[in-house]
Amino acid sequence: MALLEIRNVTRRFGDFIAVDNVSISIEAGEFFTLLGPSGCGKTTLLRMIAGFDLPDSGQILLDGKDMVNTPSEKRPIHTVFQSYALFPHMTVADNIAFPLRMAGKTPDEIKSRVREALDDVRLSNFGNRFPEELSGGQKQRVAFARGLVNRPRLLLLDEPLGALDAKLREEMQIELINLQKDMGVTFVFITHAQNEALALSHRIAVMNQGNIEQLDEPSRIYGFPRNRFVADFIGKISMINAQVLEAAPSHLKLMVAGLGEVTAPSKEGVRVGDTGVMAIRPEQVRISHHAEETELKNHFLGKVQGFLYVGDVTTYIVELSNGASIEALLPNSAPGRAKFFEAGDPVAVSWRHDAGIFLND
Amino acid sequence: MIKNSTKANHAAKWLVSGPPLLFLLVFFVAPSIIMLFTSLRFPGEFGGLAPITAPAEAVSGEYGLTLETYQFFFSDILYAEIFLKSFGVAAVSTLICLIMAYPLALLIARSEKRFRNLMVLLVVLPFASNFLIRIYAWMIILGPESVLSHFINTVLGAFGIAPVTLLFSPFAVLVGMVYVHLPFMVLPLYTNLEKHDPALLDAAQDLGADAWQRFWHVTWPLSLPGVFSGSALVFIPVLGMFAVPDILGGTGDILVGNLIKDQFLGTRDWPFGSALSIMLTLAVLAITGLAAWFAQLATRQRSVTETE
């Protein structure tokens, strides 16, 4: 039995449907992420799991028990809030002790568990500080410790890394993965940052306008997006309008207007004559000075339109002969080398026949 | 360049804070000093003050500076009793105001934003009519012929208890004090409660706190600064108030305020009136100082959970 089961949950605010007939089941020990743009319904769903809000229809079951009559304070579910929501009038130790105290633990147990929790988040000497005396990362760790100290069945994390700078965020991501592994607590993580979701999760539900667009493992979400929304939302991707010419069990043959034929991996349910886009990730596209240099079937000529240098890699935007643009990513692995092509250079782009994906309209 | 701008800043600071400082100097510090001096002098024969040096034609009388007024204050237990009673009335009024104002302030702070200003306006609306008129209105409400009196005495009569008079009693004084000062408690409480981050209550609930625990562990401790400033704004004025006991109190309901007023307007003993004022000021300073110290202790007490 799944630890948490969300069954056909719908939540409306007036005419607006925030969560539209969503069903998810989350297993014990899982790091599950709800990913989506703001307003997609992920926060509403989280608030219903936490017990701050109730579904208009559908059920939320924890260990098979419907939670509808269980108020938030009685649910073995704790939340790490985006703003941390640490109690400003309490010391770090008192903040962490709070859920234990509410649960009526003995002073001795509280003392040892708080000690332990402080050690777990590497804040052993910060027990007597007040939240305002901590840095952002330290506050974050106190929030984690407070959420985990009473060993909830489920820990909800509402964009907890949103307020941190990029470097600290990466550190906290690693810390979060370790915490989850060590504690064995099930995490439900909410974020709009797709790279965070990919880095942390066992499974991701991509949400949009109250619906789940795709629920899968990170590599499947990234590699095999189910539709244009998911493809576009997760990572970078180039999309070129195409029509299906041939749908074989081994491959698809697509027609791109003004460019020619493209071979793509086969996909279930695609029929000859379907229109859609041929989508391809920048790192799958090879770029070279001359067409002769490649033996790949999918290769086309174009012109470098511009590039984006970000240090480790450079993304080149190539305009194809039919006017469509495609992005190609090259690692800057040669020391001191920042770019290999200039804007305006005539180039050839190519990709393997099993790269890319056809997405129906 | 930097030096110039700091100099300009300095000038601007004085320009802005100068006038209010001057105001306080002229209308608070100077009168306090005058009062202190007045308390050390002898009363004049027909009120006012006796001259410091004896005039040439004087036959008898007391001139110069003296501590006699203070000796007089401490020689009669009556004055200490009146002081004590006044502090009692002020403390009880403050407590009743707090108990009545807290739920109201919480209600306003937690209602929808667009209604809040209207509700605050309603709280201060009584200020729109004259203070004395409002107190006189209570004479009618509490008077022997009022609906309230009839109702209470009918109920008491049913239980075989003798009828009571509401007006001209310590009860009426307390009602008047609470009525007049309630807004002074509501406003600072509301200002404090309105600033609380609602996420803290969500967090408390999420971590297992029921409604009462959320109030006791989060809302109440965070509201203590508001509680203390509201209490000061009620306690101190009640202590010096003379109009309410004058109008609503009986002959026995004399408070410090009445006593001081009588020295200036009735007995015409300015030095003793001044001495009483000085004593009251000192007492208030002592009490508010103590309260501030407690407030600091209460709001920032170090951990209850030892980790060391």
Put simply, whether A282 touches B (Cβ < 8 Å) is: no
Question: Residue A128 and residue B204: Cβ atoms within 8 Å?
Answer: no
Q: What is the pLDDT of residues B143-153, one digit of tens each?
A: 988 999 999 99
| Å between A291 CA and nearest CA of chain B | 59
Same domain, A279 and A265: yes
- Identify the helix (H) or strand (E) that includes residue B195: none
Residue A248 vs residue A93, higher pLDDT? A93
Mutate to test the interface with A, among B192, B215, B305 (most CBs of A within 10 A): B305
Q: Tell me the C-alpha to C-alpha distance, in Å, between residue B159 and each of A36, B56, B146, B147, B167.
A: 70, 73, 20, 19, 22
Q: Compute the count of residue pairs across chains A and B with CB atoms less than 8 Å apart.
A: 90
CATH number at residue A311: 2.40.50.100
**Is residue B60 scored above 70 in pLDDT?**
no
Nearest 5°: the CA angle A157, A160, A164 is 170
Domain B83-267, architecture per CATH: Orthogonal Bundle (1.10)
pLDDT at A337 over 70: no
Considering only CA atoms, give the Rg of chain B.
Answer: 25
pLDDT of residue A18: 95
pLDDT (tens digit per residue) in A11-65: 999 999 999 999 999 999 999 999 999 989 999 999 999 999 999 999 999 999 9
Chain B contact for A137, CB < 8 A? no
DSSP sequence for A69-138: TS-GGGSSEEEE-TT----TTS-HHHHHHHHHHHTT--HHHHHHHHHHHHHHTT-GGGTTS-GGGS-HHH
Contacting residues of B for A89, CB less than 8 Å apart: 221-222, 299-300
For residues B122 and B125, what is the distance between their CA atoms, to the nearest angstrom? 5
Q: Give me the interface pTM, i.e. the ipTM.
A: 0.85
Phi, psi of A21 (to 5 degrees): 50, 55
pLDDT of B179 > 50? The answer is yes
Mapped onto helix, strand or coil, the DSSP state of residue A3 is coil
State whether A193 and A279 are in the same domain.
no
Residue in chain A lying closest to B211 (CA): A73
Please tell me the distance from the alpha carbon of residue B159 to that of residue B242, in angstroms, as a whole number.
36
Residues A133 and A269 both lie in one domain: no
Chain A closest-CA separation from residue B299 CA (Å): 7
In angstroms, rounded to a whole number, what is the distance separating the alpha carbons of residues A110 and A124? 15
Please answer yes or no on whether B197 and A83 come within 8 Å at the CB atom.
Answer: yes
- Choose from A77, A83, A101, A154 for mutation: most chain B CBs within 10 A: A101
CA A90 – CA A72 distance, rounded (Å): 22
Q: Do both A262 and A315 map to the same domain?
A: yes
Each as own residue / partner, the long-range contacts of residues B48-53 (CB below 8 Å, 24 or more positions apart, any chain) are B48/B268, B48/B270, B49/B270, B49/B271
Indicate whether A220 and A140 sit together in one domain. yes
> Which of these, B224, B222, B242, B12, lies nearest to B135 by C-alpha position?
B242
Model pLDDT, residue A240: 92
Mean pLDDT of all residues in A64-80 = 94
- Please state the domain count of chain A: 2
B200 vs A150: CB contact, 8 Å cut-off? no
Chain A residue closest to B203 (CA)? A85
pLDDT band for position A311 (50/70/90)?
A: confident
B124-177: pLDDT as tens digits: 999 899 989 999 999 999 998 899 999 999 999 999 888 888 899 999 999 999
Q: In the block, which residue shows the tokens 């309209």?
A: A361
Q: What CA–CA distance (Å, rounded) separates A254 from A256?
A: 6
Nearest to B207 among A71, A111, A146 (CB): A146
Contact A83 B209 (CB under 8 A): no
Structure tokens at A90: 């309490």
Contact A81 B199 (CB under 8 A): yes
- Chain-chain contact of A102 with B303 (C-beta, under 8 angstroms): no
Q: What is the pLDDT of residue B3?
A: 57
Judge if A266 and A225 occupy the same domain.
Answer: no
CB contact under 8 A, B199 and A127: no
Indicate whether B308 pLDDT > 50.
Answer: no
Interchain CB distance below 8 Å, A98 and B209: yes
- Cβ of A110 under 8 Å from any chain B Cβ? yes
Contact yes or no for B222 and A110 at CB 8 A? no
Q: Which residue of A has its CA nearest to B220?
A: A89
Asked if residue B247 lies in contact with residue B135, where contact means CB atoms within 8 angstroms, the answer is: yes
Nearest residue in chain A measured CA to CA from B216? A102
**Residue A3 pLDDT more than 90?**
yes
- pTM to 2 decimals? 0.83
Query: Where in chain B are all domains bearing CATH 1.10.3720.10?
Result: 83-267
- Do A194 and A284 fall within a single domain? no
Report the DSSP beta bridge partners of residue A191.
Answer: A35
Min CA distance, B200 vs chain A (Å)?
Answer: 5
Give the contacts of B220 (CB within 8 A, at least 6 positions apart).
none
Query: How many C-beta atoms lie closer than 10 Å to residue A160's C-beta?
Result: 25
pLDDT above 50 (res A10)? yes
By Cβ distance, the residue of B205, B300, B303 closest to A72 is B205
Q: What is the DSSP letter of B304?
A: S
Q: Which of A211, A230, A249 is the last residue of a domain?
A: A230
Q: Which of B208, B221, B306 sits opposite A102 (nearest CB)?
A: B208
**Any B CB within 8 A of A99 CB:** yes
Tens digits of residue pLDDT in A278-290: 999 999 998 888 7
CA distance A296 to A354: 11
State whether the Cα torsion B48-B51-B56-B62 is positive or negative. positive
Whether the CB-CB separation of B55 and B294 falls below 8 Å is answered with no
Query: Could you tell me the CA-to-CA distances from A361 to A239, A250, A276, A323, B225 in Å, in that order?
Result: 12, 22, 5, 20, 61
| pLDDT higher than 50, residue A309 | yes
Choosing among B197, B303, B306, which should be mutated to test the A contact, i.e. which has the most A CBs within 10 A? Answer: B303
The pLDDT, as a whole number, for residue B267 is: 86
Q: CA–CA separation, A91 vs A86, rounded Å? A: 9
Instruction: Assess whether A256 and A278 both reside in one domain.
Output: yes
* Tokens 């994906």 sit on residue: A357
- The pLDDT tens digits of the residues spanning B218-265 come to 999 999 989 999 999 999 999 989 999 999 988 878 899 999 999 998
Domain boundary among A196, A230, A264: A230
Distance from CA of A213 to the nearest CA of B (A): 29
Q: Are residues A203 and A265 in the same domain?
A: no
Instruction: Please state whether beta strands A31-35 and A186-191 pair in parallel, antiparallel, or not at all (unpaired).
Output: parallel
Say yes or no for a CB contact (<8 Å) between B308 and A128. Answer: yes
- Residue A296, domain extent: 236-360
Identify residues of B whose CB sits under 8 angstroms from chain A CBs: 197, 199-200, 202-210, 213, 217-218, 221-222, 299-300, 302-308
Per CB-CB distance under 8 Å, the chain B contacts of A110 are 305
Predicted local distance difference test score (pLDDT) of residue B59: 60
Instruction: Please compute Rg for chain A using Cα positions.
Output: 25
CA angle A16, A40, A194 (to 5 degrees): 175
Last residue of some domain: A208, A230, A252? Answer: A230
Please tell me which of the candidates A74, A85, A146 has its beta carbon nearest to residue B202.
A85
Q: Let me know: does B49 contact B263? Beta carbons within 8 Å.
A: no
CB contact under 8 A, A127 and B303: yes
Query: What does the DSSP 8-state code read for residue B49?
Result: B
Alpha helices in B241-269 (DSSP H): 243-248, 256-265
A146 class by beta-carbon count within 10 Å (0-12 exposed, 13-18 middle, 19+ buried): buried
Report pLDDT for A163: 79
Mutate to test the interface with A, among B206, B216, B300, B304 (most CBs of A within 10 A): B206
B167 near B143, Cβ under 8 Å?
A: yes
Task: Say yes or no for a CB contact (<8 Å) between A94 and B213.
Answer: no
* Interchain contact, B202 vs A94, CB within 8 Å: no
Among A48, A39, A56, A35, smallest CA distance to A5 is for: A48
Cα A122 to Cα A142: distance, rounded to the nearest angstrom: 10
A339: pLDDT strictly greater than 80? no
CA torsion A107→A108→A113→A114, rounded to 10°? 60
Average pLDDT over residues B189-202: 96
Alpha carbon distance A283, A269 (integer Å): 27
CA–CA min distance A67, chain B (Å): 14
Q: How far is CA A302 from the centre of its chain?
A: 33
Residues A99 and A170 in one domain: yes
CA-CA distance, B119 to B125, in Å (whole number)? 10
Q: Are A154 and A63 in contact (CB under 8 A)?
A: no
Residue B104 pLDDT class (50, 70, 90 cuts): very high
Strand partners of residue A247: A252
Q: What is the mean pLDDT of residues B269-296?
A: 89
Interchain proximity B208–A99, CB inside 8 Å: yes
For residue A99, what pLDDT band results from cuts at 50, 70 and 90? Answer: very high
Closest by CA position to B87, among listed B280, B299, B302, B289: B280
C-alpha span between A252 and A244 (Å, rounded)? 7
Flag whether pLDDT at A214 surpasses 70: yes
Q: Are residues A12 and A128 in the same domain?
A: yes
Are A284 and A201 in the same domain?
Answer: no
Q: Whole-number mean pLDDT of chain A?
A: 91
